[in-house]
Structure 1
Amino acid sequence: MNISIKVADQTIFTLKEQGQHVPEKYTLPQNWARAFKHNNDNLTQAFKQMQQELTDNTGLYTTQLDLNIPTLNLPPEAQSYLKQLGYTKSEPLALNIKGTINSKEQTTLTNFNGFVKLSDAATTHFSHTLKIDNAKIAKEIGELLAQTPKTVATEQQKQALAMHLLAIEGRNTFLNTFNISYKDNSLLPRIYKENAKHMQTGTGLPATAQDVATLYAAIIQSAQINPALTPYQTTLAQFFQDPKELKLAIKPKKSTITL
């Protein structure tokens, strides 16, 4: 399957899929949404269907996508906020995302990288690789079968089970690598300056942009985060204290950071 979308004779999106036939059911969130939409009166049946589809998935396939929008006009609200920050003209946003999804038997590997650029304000480059263990997801769904209602489920039960499904996927999605670099041309200092107009210090004096920066840094430094990310917390706090350029690279030894 190949999909190409053009705007003004320029290709902005391409999607290629190759390998064994891959029906929509292998995309878990879509699968869950469909099951709850069409089979929500019998959640046991829906769970069994999802578990069987995951168990049967031996499809070896690769999906590649490329999204490249060099001039993306921001919504009016965003343009208005940028003017409020002191930007005299509205620069279009440049967006580029490339990704691959490789499925091999019971494991799916995803890799995405790209950048977002607002020329006068900031530029962000990013890349990450995730591993999804479909076999474990199928096993945990099976363990939930004994807890699902045997009769028509209430709306509260449906919502609770939906949350369980999301938790199951989260527990079995592992971070292999994560890289992000952010270069601030002027955006955060202007945000600090704007926020300072509406704040006061502890002594009741008007706040400065540096007061706002210090506050943000303190919030980040004291936040409760995944222990595996703690070494990066201070770096992030220091960046918000003095926003110029930020680079973070995470590479767990055994893909132990779950999302």
Structure 2
Amino acid sequence: MKLQGKNVLITGGSKGIGYGIAESLVKAGCNVVITSRHAEEATKAAEKLSKSGGKAIGLKADVREMAEMERVAKAAESEFGKLDVVIANAGLGHFANIEELTEKQWKEMIDTNLTGLFTTIKSTVKMLKATKGYFISIASLAGTNFFENGSGYNASKFGAVGFTQAVMLDLRGSDVKVTTIMPGSVTSHFAGHTPNADDEWKIQPEDLGEMVIDLLKMNPRTLPSKIEVRPSKPPSAKK
């Protein structure tokens, strides 16, 4: 895929991983639509991205709601004429022992991390089939490695990996490529974290941006359908 002039939709693109991917794509000449649950954050991020190369638009949307994702998909198509790449990145996490994990937290994770994938691909699949495009979900190593206090988050990410891989099988006959990226520790605002100097060992958002560009440029005969990504040397590996 030649990236210059390609049109991309990225959910949760106002900061963190989503913004890092958006920035890499804009610098490569793509036009992007980013979403956030907060209109002001989406607008400010898009204004900043627009200074890097391609055109960027920020829209308010909650991926948990099909109607909102359908609105965003139509807005992207109306603005750019077509949609070539969709990246489902929006996600959140609540971490607690099962005795303390609340029903509200459970539903918020499942609805955002899993149902959000469904609404994102469901609202854009016809557009991607028309362009023989690419759908990428940002899952997590938590989608294959379970851990203490992660029951709800693990459930949402195990589901995200399974869902995206099944969608890959559904769509490859239509020449739509589908990949799941499963990062480990990434420098971001996830779970209320504030990026700082101690995060240097972690995967950086721009690293995932480079990975997305590599995927889009790959010969269409080859599909890395599931990619696990880890920091090269976390603190636990130091001797």
TM-score, normalized by the shorter chain, greater than 0.5: no
TM-score category of the 2 structures, normalised to the smaller one: under 0.3
Q: Comparing both structures, which one devotes a greater share of its residues to strand? A: 1
Alignment TM-score, normalising by the size of structure 2: 0.26
